[in-house]
């Protein structure tokens, strides 16, 4: 058996300086064929789009003092009536979440060169989660709150493997998003994306959709660019939305919007968000240490297929083909030829699924692993090692 063919991936070009001019009307889109689906980073710094061009105007550096002091901002409660119309729930969620979503502005000297989005995850300490590809290697960025207040933010650290970053601002009356979980959610459940696409003025943009899939692999030009375990949604978001919030029907954060799928015809309604469980661990480590590590089993493996009664084959786990020197898997008693079937109680059927599950854990974490060995189930508890950059 061979691995299924994967669609080609194209990551965005380096950021170009954004000129400050008046917007020009969009040009009509040229006729084109259907093309292949090409996932790309949603928040590419800069605001050009395939059809026409939108240019940011009148945005200066966030170092001027706020003239009006805001002392309190309160997150509204979501009140669900007995009969909820199609528009009632998204409006209630928007009122609750919008105060927690910010614009992240990137400057080159005094010039604004692009923008993305961010989510306030800690109001007391002023922590904002966003994407690594939004802040890049900048030590500081501008943060614009939903109510228009501006602050200079310090980039505490980034993690390229999960495309996450943390920015800190010194501000009062912040509203942190309520965090939820992807566990227990199903395909078809409501999903609402809130971000700041194209650097548009006037506050965050809200779009509504459903959860389309879980544990998606979004591949890049190299294996190091791949994003594992992504949540897929059809809630529309585009460039500048990177780092924004994907929330559930209760307004609870379930992901950080990171990438979109496009073809030569434009956006294809495929958006991808980093699960909140991964964001929680990575941002906590960045806040504590300035960087984040990743758990490592120390194996080489592949998806194991098993014959089915009807003559088909199905993935049933990960075959351990080699134990690396000093691996935590080998130290725990896992053997070459074992098939890993669960990690931390989570079913694992493919190699991609194993990597996605491990993204939730860091070096030194203890996890329970179940393997199938010659027809019998064997359970071990192991301490994860640290993933090196070339692994």
318-325: list long-range contacts, CB under 8 Å, 24+ apart: 318/348, 318/350, 318/351, 318/353, 318/354, 320/371, 323/298, 323/299, 324/298, 324/299, 324/300
Residue 96 is encoded by which pair of tokens? Answer: 């609750």
Structure tokens at 297: 């089993």
In the residue annotation, 344 being an active-site residue is answered as: no
Stretch (H or E) spanning 332: helix 328-332
For the beta carbon of residue 201, count every other beta carbon within 10 angstroms. 12
- 222: exposed, middle or buried (Cβ count in 10 Å: 0-12, 13-18, 19+): exposed
Q: Give the separation between CA 106 and CA 131, rounded to whole angstroms.
A: 13
Active site residue 163: yes
How far is Cα 222 from Cα 157, in angstroms, rounded to an integer?
Answer: 23
N- to C-terminal Cα separation, the chain: 25
SS3 12: coil
Which candidate in 117, 159, 163, 327 is catalytic? 163
> Which of the residues 100, 242, 328, 356 is marked catalytic?
242
Catalytic residue check, 133: yes
- Listed in sequence order, the residues at least 6 apart from 150 whose beta carbon sits closer than 8 Å to its beta carbon are 62, 64, 66, 142, 143, 144
- Options 117, 133, 159, 327, the catalytic residue: 133
The catalytic site residues sit at: 133, 163, 242
């Amino acid at each position: 058996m061979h691995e299924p063919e994967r669609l080609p991936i194209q990551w965005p070009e380096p950021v170009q300086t954004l000129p400050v001019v008046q917007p020009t009307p969009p040009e009509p889109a040229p006729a084109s064929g259907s093309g292949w689906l090409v996932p790309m980073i949603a928040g590419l710094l800069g605001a050009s789009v395939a059809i026409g061009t939108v240019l940011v105007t009148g945005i200066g550096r966030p170092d001027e003092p706020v003239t009006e002091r805001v002392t309190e901002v309160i997150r509204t409660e979501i009140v669900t009536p007995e009969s909820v119309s199609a528009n009632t729930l998204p409006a209630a969620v928007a009122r609750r979440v919008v105060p927690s979503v910010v614009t992240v502005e990137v400057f080159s000297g005094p010039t604004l060169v692009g923008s993305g989005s961010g989510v306030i995850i800690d109001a007391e300490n002023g922590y904002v989660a966003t994407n690594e590809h939004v802040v890049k290697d900048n030590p500081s960025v501008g943060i614009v709150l939903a109510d228009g207040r501006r602050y200079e933010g310090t980039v505490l650290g980034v993690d390229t493997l999960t495309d996450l970053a943390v920015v800190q601002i010194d501000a009062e009356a912040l509203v942190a998003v309520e965090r939820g979980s992807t566990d227990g959610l199903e395909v078809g459940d409501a999903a609402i994306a809130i971000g700041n696409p194209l650097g548009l003025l006037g506050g965050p943009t809200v779009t509504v959709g459903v959860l389309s899939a879980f544990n998606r692999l979004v591949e890049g030009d190299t294996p190091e660019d791949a994003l594992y375990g992504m949540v897929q949604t059809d809630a529309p978001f585009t460039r500048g939305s990177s780092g924004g919030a994907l929330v559930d029907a209760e307004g609870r954060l379930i992901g950080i919007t990171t990438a979109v799928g496009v073809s030569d015809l434009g956006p294809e309604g495929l958006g991808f968000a980093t699960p909140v469980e991964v964001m929680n661990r990575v941002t906590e480590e960045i806040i504590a240490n300035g960087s984040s590590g990743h758990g490592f089993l120390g194996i080489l493996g592949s998806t194991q297929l098993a014959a089915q009664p009807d003559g088909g084959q199905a993935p049933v786990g990960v075959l351990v083909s080699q134990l690396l020197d000093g691996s935590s898997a080998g130290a725990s008693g896992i053997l070459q030829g074992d098939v890993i079937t669960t990690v931390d109680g989570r079913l694992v059927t493919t190699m991609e699924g194993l990597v996605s599950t491990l993204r939730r854990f860091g070096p030194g974490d203890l996890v329970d692993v179940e393997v199938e060995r010659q027809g019998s189930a064997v359970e071990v508890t192991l301490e994860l090692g640290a993933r090196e950059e070339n692994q």
